Structure 1
Amino acid sequence: MRLFLASYRFGAHADRLLQLVGTPGRVGLIPNACDAWPAAWQSAVTSDEVPLRRLGFRPEVVDLREYAGAPDRLRATLAGFPLLWVRGGNTFVLRAQFARSGADAVLPALLAEDALVYAGYSAGACLLSPDLHGIEEADDPAEVRPATGVEPRWDGLGLIDRPIVPHVDSPTDPDGICTRLAARFRAEGKPHWALTDDDAVIVDGGAPELLN
């Protein structure tokens, strides 16, 4: 299994993403964490396409809404990409769209086969946690039903053994919400990865490695 999980885009470790992937090529860009904000959806896509192209990748949007109830078709699509890029937004909305499309079963299977690299930041990284409790302090679960037609889920994909708290002590957390959440987890003795916007967690077939 190969994972690149960051707080904000590549953090300070674009080189390690390139090492995981090898030669840059096609990348499936999944922007569904932004589905609750239709007016900003296209600009969110563009904001990720540009830095991906600068690294030499060729991004193609994979909209999970187009695969609701069609996991076999989704698997065929995702298997064609050496890299998936899952951007930030609302973690609960993203989780709901993974469930509606069957991506929550398809993706772990593809990763187990080492068929692709998963790269995600913010919500795209938090999604892989065992559960999403605590994330509601930053992301509103009430946005799920209007955006997806289903109730929010509190289980993550469980591909990592502890939650990721992004944007700690970072400009992308101007109100300090994520910083306080990391402090709460620390006080509770709850294992987690607290990531600044420079940090990332990578998995390359073995134990997770924290990159500061």
Structure 2
Amino acid sequence: MKYYLSSYKFGNQLDQLPSLLPLAAKIGHIHNARDFTTADVERKVRSQQEEIAQLQQLGFAAEALDLKDYFHREAALRTKLNTLHGVWVSGGNTFVLRQAMRLSGFDCVIHELAQRNDFLYAGYSAGICVLSTSLQYLHLVDNSDDFPYPDCQQPLWQGLGLLDYALLPHYDSYHPESEAIGRTVTYCIEQKLLFKALRDGEVLVMTERDAS
């Protein structure tokens, strides 16, 4: 699997994104990190529309992929994802995103897709934080006790496990979460946890070999 992992939005390597997949490749836009209970619905819809439009301008066939439509329907999600060339996972609350991934079975299916060299995982903020083995380090940044889905009422501390280190976006940036990320960097150093801090604008472009 290929990775395009941005601290915020599309980052400063946007010119590399179209080279990672063929022209008109199908991209599913996952926006469930914005399902947190205090989210502004109009702002949520607008931001998804803007990001899908940006992907389409880059030459991708982008469409909304709401994981809520696949809760307890892992087989259906697997079928859907196998028709796509990649996913774009946007930011918000990492713990809420993780809940949606667990309830839909995305967390299982993505490990199957990780074996494909023609599949892209792309995204930013919460969309990249969720890739690590543990989400414990994020307790200083996101609310772990926000439960918008009735079928999940406990925090999920296990990440997707596709990376063996934490990604910390918005570090030393003009972002509302930058201060909390700074404290998280200190926490990771004190706890001897592996991490990579990204400033807004920075992007990691990797293959599965790079990520392992």
Structures share a fold, TM > 0.5? yes
Shift of the 115–20 alpha-carbon distance from structure 1 to 2, 3 Å rule, reads closer
Shift of the 60–50 alpha-carbon distance from structure 1 to 2, 3 Å rule, reads same
Check the 8 A contact 1:65/1:101 in 2, yes or no.
yes
Structure 2 counterpart of 1:167: 170
Structure 2: which 5+ runs fail to align?
Answer: none
Which of 68, 71, 78 pairs up with 1:68? 71
Partner Cα distance (1:62, 1:199) in 2: 25
Structure 2 counterpart of 1:180: 183
**Cα shift at 1:6:** 1.4
Check the 8 A contact 1:97/1:148 in 2, yes or no.
no
Q: Which amino acid aligns with 1:128?
A: L
Aligned pair count reads 208
Structure 2 counterpart of 1:106: 109
Partner Cα distance (2:177, 2:165) in 1: 24
Structure 1 counterpart of 2:83: 80
Please give the secondary structure, in 2, of the residue aligned with 1:184.
helix
Deviates most, 198-207 or 29-38: 198-207
Shift of the 149–205 alpha-carbon distance from structure 1 to 2, 3 Å rule, reads closer
Shift of the 148–20 alpha-carbon distance from structure 1 to 2, 3 Å rule, reads farther
Check the 8 A contact 1:20/1:204 in 2, yes or no.
no
Q: Which amino acid aligns with 2:207?
A: D
Identity of aligned residues (%): 33
Structure 2 counterpart of 1:136: 139
Shift of the 7–41 alpha-carbon distance from structure 1 to 2, 3 Å rule, reads same
Write out per-residue CA displacement over residues 190-212 of structure 1, whole angstroms, 9 at most, x where no aligned residue.
Answer: 22010011212232142249xxx
Please give the secondary structure, in 2, of the residue aligned with 1:176.
helix
Structure 2 counterpart of 1:33: 33
Structure 2 counterpart of 1:22: 22
Partner Cα distance (1:71, 1:95) in 2: 15
RMSD: 1.9
Please give the secondary structure, in 1, of the residue aligned with 2:187.
helix
Shift of the 155–20 alpha-carbon distance from structure 1 to 2, 3 Å rule, reads same
Structure 2 counterpart of 1:119: 122
Partner Cα distance (1:44, 1:101) in 2: 23
Which of 53, 61, 74 pairs up with 1:50? 53
Partner Cα distance (1:155, 1:181) in 2: 17
Structure 1: which 5+ runs fail to align?
Answer: none
Deviating runs (4+, > 4 A) in structure 1? none
Which of 195, 200, 207 pairs up with 1:204? 207
**Cα shift at 1:137:** 1.4
Partner Cα distance (1:106, 1:186) in 2: 32
Structure 2 counterpart of 1:149: 151
Check the 8 A contact 2:90/2:124 in 1, yes or no.
yes
Partner Cα distance (1:175, 1:23) in 2: 35
When normalised by structure 2's length, the TM-score is 0.90
Q: Which amino acid aligns with 2:68?
A: R
When normalised by structure 1's length, the TM-score is 0.90
Structure 1 counterpart of 2:99: 96
**Cα shift at 1:10:** 2.2
Write out per-residue CA displacement over residues 150-185 of structure 1, whole angstroms, 9 at most, x where no aligned residue.
Answer: 122000010011010000011223651112212332
